[in-house]
Amino acid sequence: MSRRVLIIPDKFKGTMTAAQAAGAIADGWRKEHRNDKLTCLPMTDGGDGFGEVMGLLLGAERQQIKTLDAAHRPRSAWWWWAGDSRTAIIESAAIVGLAPLPHGVFHPFQLDTFGLGAVLRAARKSRAQTCIIGIGGSATNDGGFGVARAVGWKFRDADQRLIHAWTRLRDLTEIEAPETLPWFPETRVVADVRNPLLGARGASRIYGPQKGLRPEDMKPAEACLSALARQVRRNRGQDLARCRGSGAAGGLGFGLRAFLGARMEQGFDLFARYARLREVLRNVDLVITGEGSLDASSLMGKGVGRLAQWCDKAGVPCIGLAGHVSPNAQTSHWFSYTLGMDTLTERQKALQQPERWLREASRRAAREWGSTDRRRP
């Protein structure tokens, strides 16, 4: 008996794009179930690979531009343009992301989001009506200060001197807006987290360490972002720092909301809408998804966890594949079957040959899940 199988993984960060992962899963599954009808639908929640996935869904064309990375080094980057709907798609990870930087060379105090400005100017020149910006995978912790400067905002201290580095924001006393606002009729910021800008759950303390912030850096980083948030509150009359998602991407969510008038949106929700996912799920017998690590955080707004919950509500079994699967009661509840590549080989080998071992994990899942056809009641 053939099944209709939807293969819909997210990226395996640092090793495979969502499209590469989908291809590897499909290859492994076919070795055991040749008659199954497989559909590949790479997923994104706003991080690395966002532009490629959303560009495909919107029928957008890839555009190349010269800009700067987070360390202000020259680089070429891509953005996507859907002319019919006048929609620009920007993946900040491809411009000011952590992955393109050499490991351990730059401290977050040396990095900012200025390089996003060149892409925003290109989208404005094309007369975009909607600008969709995926902000996951950022290397920065500047609260969006860099991109605000790049589009014309000015920041001054008590002596009216311009502030050019986000680490001097503790001296901020005045913000001056550019002459033309807003830049786009609609700006949407896409992320998979809901953290506020400041505090124990804020940008610096939760995501700063993975970007290189040390314990002794937390107090000065928080002081700078607090000063920025305070001035924005005085100008706008709103405490945007408390809004959900303001702490995403080192506060880039806050900055784009404050300085470009953007609204925040969960990455999975945006993807699901454009992919017509609810309709797709009504016409499949099995879903296979995956990401680098399947753990408790996967169920806190990330795409793979949200997908599993949607499948549960729709009565469609969902298989979760990953580099590593953490033992977790909630994970066991939402997924019909899970398998980590690190149970098949050593972690280092899986990292060196990720597609090979994901194919093997998919093949193993096809044998073990398929042998009992574990459909949920």
- Residue-range domains of the chain with CATH: 4-42+285-372 (3.40.50.10350), 50-268 (3.90.1510.10)
Burial profile 242-252: b = 16 or more Cβ within 10 angstroms, e = fewer: ebebbbbbbbb
Query: Residues near 326 by Cβ (< 8 Å), separated by ≥ 6?
Result: 293, 294, 295, 296
* 172: nearest Cα among 234, 96, 215: 234
Question: Residue length, the chain?
Answer: 377
Q: What pTM value is reported for the model?
A: 0.91
Q: Considering only 19-23, 92-96, 303-307, which range has the smallest mean pLDDT? A: 303-307
**Residue 217 neighbours by CB under 8 Å, 6+ apart:** 107, 108, 109, 204, 208
User: In the structure, what pLDDT confidence band is assigned to residue 110 with cuts at 50, 70 and 90?
Assistant: very high
Q: With bands split at pLDDT 50, 70 and 90, how would you rate the model's confidence at 330?
A: low
Mean pLDDT rounded to a whole number for the chain: 93
> pLDDT band for position 269 (50/70/90)?
very high
- 133 or 236, higher pLDDT: 133
In the 8-state DSSP scheme, what is residue 215?
A: G
Residue 331 has what pLDDT?
65
Pairwise CA distance, residues 138 & 141, whole Å: 8
What is the band of 376 on the pLDDT scale with cuts at 50, 70, 90?
very low
What integer pLDDT is reported at residue 377 of this predicted model? 37
